[in-house]
Every structure is written in structure tokens, then in C-alpha cells.
A and B are shown apart, each in its own frame.
Chain A
Amino acid sequence: MLLPESMSRIVIVGNKSRLDEATDALYSLKVIHLIDHTVGTDEGFSIGAPRPYSEKASERLLSLRAVEKELSIDPAKTELDAPSSAKDVRAKISANSVEAIGEEVFRVLDRKSGIVQKITEEKAKKDTLTLLETIPVDLDLYAGYGSLAVLTGSVRDDPTQALAGIEAECFVSADKKMAAVFVRKAKRDDALRILTDFEYTEMSVPEGKGAVKDNIAQADSRLAALNAELDAVRKELDALKGKHAADIVALDEELSISTEKGELPLRIATSEHSFIIDAWVPTAKVTATVSGMEEKMGGNIFVEVQEDRSRSLHDVEHAEPRFKETPTKMNNGPYVKNFEYPVKLLSAPKYQELDPSIILSIFFPLFFGLMVGDIGYAIPFIILGAFGLKTAKSKDFRAIAMILFFGGLWAFIFGFFFFGEMFGMHFTGEGAPGLLTTLASDKMVSWESIFSLNFPDWFVNIFPNHGHGVSKVNDVTFLLQVSIYIGIVHILTGFAIGFYNAKIQHGMREAFFEKGGWIITFVGLVMFAWALAQGMIFGKDLMAGLPLYILLTGVVLMVIGISVSIKKEGAQAILELPGLFGNILSYARLTAIGMSKAGMAMAFNYISIVLIGAGLGGIMGIIIGLLMFCFLHLVIWVLAIISAGLHALRLQYVEMMSKFYVGGGKEYEPLEIKRKNTKIVETEV
């Protein structure tokens, strides 16, 4: 359960003429993790060629994807209410349905792009006309002269004065930025030279008749007509989308499946008449796989188990390169399964190491709960988590919902039975009864005191610390100690797993030198630090009695541990000591986060209570006070997700998993067809 599922390597040999049947059989078993064939490993064998049907299928898939893009259909995000039968879809494919849809859609699309182009041209023409609008020359007068040249374009300023010397007639627009110059053809160059000083840029004048203003109006009406046409085409495309969407996603799925199946030979070895497939199969499924393959192929196939892969790394050393890496199939129950996600965020575990998901499933929600530790925030977490677990489908969201739900449960347990707190206030406390007197009394504000309640004895006795619950703000020293002890257990768990991993990978002796040394050092360090703390912080005599013995034992253990580790890691082992100490101290955040939240809650409660209780604004004060209370606690709650969640995760990743986790394993991916929008009907073969 803790280790990834045990794997066996099998080899499947068969006749190439029955490759298609074999492919179907392989996919239907859903347990075969294919090992890609490497060229040159087997003499006489080479990588196979794709099946003949696959080329046509991928061609069709390509044109279908183009249609999907144009119609903005996303098969990955579409789920049909009624999946079509795979047989029908195959029939449609053979009846050239993909080509027909493509033709129909692209015909409309061609029309659309034609219209779009016309609109662009018309707009450009209109823009030009708008520039010429205030020049008092009709459009047909700009061209068609035998001896006259017309220079039309943009200028910096009115060039009329400058052109006076060469017998030119000049018209300028109202803003003097456009000019039309009529000049004898022989003088054209002279005019151009003068115009250059005015930063003249020539512009081509559209053809047309009558006043420019009328032409603009005509362009406008043409544009309106074109836009109407475009709308009609768009509607047509929408209609096409509605008509074909279901077919398109089903066709896409079926074609993807045949492409994938058809390209299987690219991953296996084939000779002239036979094929060889190497694959990993979970050891527990080997018998079923062998008999399943033989049954489906009518005995016309040969399946042999090559090896049951052990966890020892020595076995791997002599294996062929392509057989070295064994895929990891994490093997967890329904609860722990959701904690595979944070592990995979880092990377999948190796086949030869313990899957840390189960450790995370215990400590992650626990740390989260301890840091939140308030039933006022815990209950929304539980509700949100339960809602997420019920509705969320994506794996990521399910994992997050799971953490919120179980983290919320822990937060409730800690919040009630340990801290006795809701929204940063204890249930019971010493404060004087009454909303205002409580504030004035300078004592701990509690739900009991602000509402002048009197909780029954049995209820008060639930809370530790004389019926108050542990205070996050006042009992810091105690909470710090608790966090550090939790940290020690957590890190030791990490080392123990590391020891186990080393043992199954290399054997007991190696494990002792690799991790055993560290465990001894760690225990020594803890004893040493404990004794020092007794002396320096709690003011006990370090040089006598229990602290002295523990101090000495700690030092001895540290020396032994380091000398064991030095054999494996060299002098560097000594340098790791402060880091290890830092790791332990790092768990102080379990208290620190809770305290910071409690501090914020205290300040926010004070603000709201003053607003409500002191009657600073009568009824408005009460409303504003209540709103402030809700909003400010919502802020803390949202912060709790981020800070408590991230810090709880970090303690797993950095402090614990760094003690043993290697990761970088390859995930087990069996050949499997996942149908979403098509289905196999019983009667089909």
C-alpha cells in the first residue's frame, strides 16, 4: 500500500497480419504500459510503419480540427448528453462525412472572408474620401485630362502662395492638411519640387462622380449593406455550428482513436512477418493479461513474463537501458488518492521508493487545522470542502476540496477541544459580563462575557487550561514547545521513510550509513537542544542532574551519528547540522501563523465591539459594526487558505520530504481508450 504497485515485464509476440486485432486486444485490457522500442536493440527487427488506415484518419482529423477552430468548437471541453454510437460514427467517416462538413463550412467561410475583404476596401476608400471632403472639387474632376497633371496629397501647410509662380491652381481642405494642385504637365516636376517643401505625400484618389460628400454617403450605404451581409453569414455559420457540433466532436474522438491505434506500430518492433511488444503490467494483473490476450487472439499469440521487477537498484543496473525505468503506479485508497496531487506537483515517486501520499494525507490536514484552529473559520472550510467534493470533477479541484474538508475538520477539533475559540474569541473567559464592561475590564474578551452568558459546567470543562482553552496569544511558550515536538516527530518520520527506501534499494548496511547515521545525529541534536533550552531559557542548572545527562548523551549521539554519515557524505555532514536545527525551528510557524491570525482577529473584534457596543452611531453603528465584523473575518479566512495552506504544504515538501524523497519517476500510463462523446454499443463487434 505504501509502495507503488509491483510491476512485471512481459513480452508479446504475434503474427504481423493480425496486428490490428492485437492492437484492439491490447487497448481493451487497459493494463499494458508499452515500452518504446529502440532501434538496434534486436537484430532483424525495426520500428513498424503506421497502419494504412491511420494516414487517412490523421488527414481527416487535420481538416476536422481546422473546421473546429473556425467554428470555435473545443472537443476537450464538450461533453455530449447523448454520445453517438461508435459504429454509426465509423459509418459516417467512411461515407466521407468529414469532407462534406468541411466543404459546407468552408464554402460559407470563403464567402465570409470575401465580404470582410470588401468591407476593408470600402472603409479605406471612405477614409480617403473623408480627407478630401472639404476640398471644393468634384470627384470626377481629379482625373481624365489631356494636358493637365493633378497632384493630390497631404501637406504641412497651404502651398497656394508658393505655387503662384508656375501657373498652378491649388485647392486646399478646410484644415489645410490636404491639397489638390492642377498644373500643366510640363510644369509637373516644378510643382512637385515646391510641394516637397510642404512635406507633400501623394495619395491616390478613388474613382467616382459628383460631389465627394455624395460619394461618402454612397460608401456608407454600401458599408451598411456589406455589414448586414456579414451578419447573415455569421448567422449561417452559427446555424452550421448548431447543426454539426455534435457530429464534429464525435468524429474528432473516433478519428483520434484510430490515429492513435494506427500509430501504435511506431512504438513496437516488427520484422517481415511478426511483431514484438515489450510492456510493463502490474504483477497482480499478469495472469489475467496473459489469458486475456490468448482468449482474444484465439491462442494465436505468445505472451511471456520476463521478470517481476524488485525494488533493489542493483537489479536495475544490469538491465537494458530501455528496461531500466519502471513506471510508477501509485497504489492508494480513495481517501489517500486525493493527496497524490500535491506529491505529483513535486514529481511522481520512483518505483523504488515509498509513496509519500499517505504521510501527507495525515500531516497536511493536521498542520492546516492546527494553524487555523478556530471553529468560526473551520465550519466554512468544512462546508466549502464538502461542496467541492460533491460537485468538483477535475482532479486538481477535488484535491483542494479534500484538503479544505479534512483541514477544516482538524481545525474544528483543534478550535473546539484545544483552543476553545470562535472568531478569535474564547467561549469562556475571565472578562466581566456585558459588552462594554468587558472591554473596560482589560481582561480576556470571550463569548460568555460579551453576551453575559453562563455556560454550564460540563461545557466549560471541555476546554483545557482551566476551562478557557489554550490562548494563541498568551500561551505562546507552550504552543511553541508543542510545535517543535510535532516537528521532531514529523522529521523523524521523514528519516524513517528514508531509511526504509535505502534498505529496499541497497540493503540494510547501506541504509545504515546513508540514513541511520542521520537518525542518530538527529536524536542527538534534539537531546542536545532540549538540554540547552532547559539551561538557557528555563533557567535550570545545566551542569547537574537530568539536563547534564541528556546533554552529554546528545553530544555523544551526535558525534557517533556524524562519524557514520561522514563515511557516505564526507565532511559536508558536519555542515548539515545547523540546517537540521533550522528544520526543527521551522515548525515554530505552526504557532506563529495561528498567533498572527489570532492577533488580527483580536484587533478586528475590538473594532466591531466598540462600534456595536459603545453605541457610537446608534442603529447605524450596530449595522456598520456587524458588517465590519463579517468583512474583516472574511479577510482573515481568505488569508488562512493562503498562509495556512501554503505553510502546511511547505513543511511537507521542505522539512519532511527532503529527508527521503527523490521522485522523478515515470507515471504508469496503460494503453487505454477513453470515450466521452462516442460509445460502444453492446451489439457491436
Chain B
Amino acid sequence: MAGYEIGDGLIAVGAGLAVGLAGIGAGLGEKDVGAAAVGAITEDMSLFGKCIVLIVLPETIVIFGLVIAFMLLFVGIS
């Protein structure tokens, strides 16, 4: 793997952490909402649409992480 420097590796690690940690966070958030939403849907099927909206709300956090990762990997912070 000639031509790579430690800095490149650190950028890759940073990008991984950005996505991974954001993913864990979103997962923790979604866990609670999801459980509650399943309960609500069992009671009343017509709530399905509203529950989808609530379940996917924490998901945006991962996208933030992903954008940061993209910026690190492809745009490069000089």
C-alpha cells in the first residue's frame, strides 16, 4: 500500500467514526420510537402513516454523519 500516509488513514478512521457513531445514536433513538409505534399500530392500523413519520425522524442524524464522512473522504479538508 505505497503512497498512503498516516493522515489518509486517520481521515478514513474519522469518516468511519462519523457514520458509525451517528448510526448508533440514530439506532438508539429509533429503538424507542419504533417500539412505541408498533404498539400504536397494533391498537389502530390507521396510525401507520403517522408512525412512519415518527420512526424515521431520528434517521436524519445518520445522514449528517454521512455528509461529514463524504466531506472528509471526497472533498478533503486541507
Contacts and interface: CB of A to CB of B under 8 A. Distances in A.
Interface of A: 342, 344-347, 476-477, 480, 537-539, 582, 585-586, 588-589, 592, 646, 649-650, 653-654, 658
Contacts of A345: 48-49, 52
B49 A586 contact: no
Interface string B26-49: 000000000000000000001011
B5 to A, nearest CB: 20
B13 interface: no
Interface in B9-24: none
Contacts of B50: 346-347
Contacts of A589: 63, 66
A338 B48 CA distance: 18
A631 B52 CA distance: 30
Given A476-B70, A477-B75, A646-B56, A653 B63 contact: no
Dominant secondary structure at the B interface? helix
Contact of B67 (A344, A588, A649): A588
A586 B53 contact: no
Interface string B57-78: 1011001101100110111001
Contacts of B71: 537
B70 A477 contact: yes
A582 B52 contact: no
Contacts of B66: 588-589, 592
B59 A650 contact: yes
Contacts of A582: 60, 64
Chain A contact surface mostly: helix
B63 A592 contact: yes
Contact of B52 (A477, A480, A537, A649): A649
A344 B73 CA distance: 41
Contacts of A346: 49-50, 53
A667 B31 CA distance: 33
A30 to B, nearest CB: 25
Given A650-B59, A654-B56, A585 B48 contact: no
B53 A477 contact: no
**Residue from B46, B50, B60, B73 whose CB has the most chain A CB atoms within 10 Å:** B60
13 contacts: A344-B49, A345-B48, A346-B49, A347-B46, A347-B49, A477-B74, A537-B75, A585-B60, A585-B63, A646-B56, A650-B52, A653-B49, A654-B56
Contacts of B74: 476-477
Contacts of A476: 70, 73-74
Contacts of A344: 49
B73 to A, nearest CB: 8
A539 B67 contact: no
A646 B46 CA distance: 18
Q: Name the 8 nearest CB pairs between A and B, nearest first.
A: A345-B49, A346-B49, A650-B56, A653-B53, A476-B74, A537-B75, A477-B74, A586-B60
Given A477-B74, A477-B75, A586-B60, A653 B52 contact: yes
Contact of B64 (A537, A585, A646): A585
Nearest to A477: B74
Contacts of A347: 46, 49-50
Contacts of B52: 345, 646, 649-650, 653
Given A477-B74, A477-B75, A654 B64 contact: no
Given A480-B70, A650-B56, 14 more contacts: A342-B49, A344-B49, A347-B46, A347-B49, A476-B73, A476-B74, A477-B75, A585-B60, A585-B63, A586-B60, A650-B52, A653-B49, A654-B56, A658-B53
A480 B70 CA distance: 9
A342 B52 CA distance: 11
Contact of B63 (A537, A586, A649, A658): A586
Nearest to A484: B67
Contacts of A480: 67, 70
Nearest to B50: A346
Contacts of B78: 539
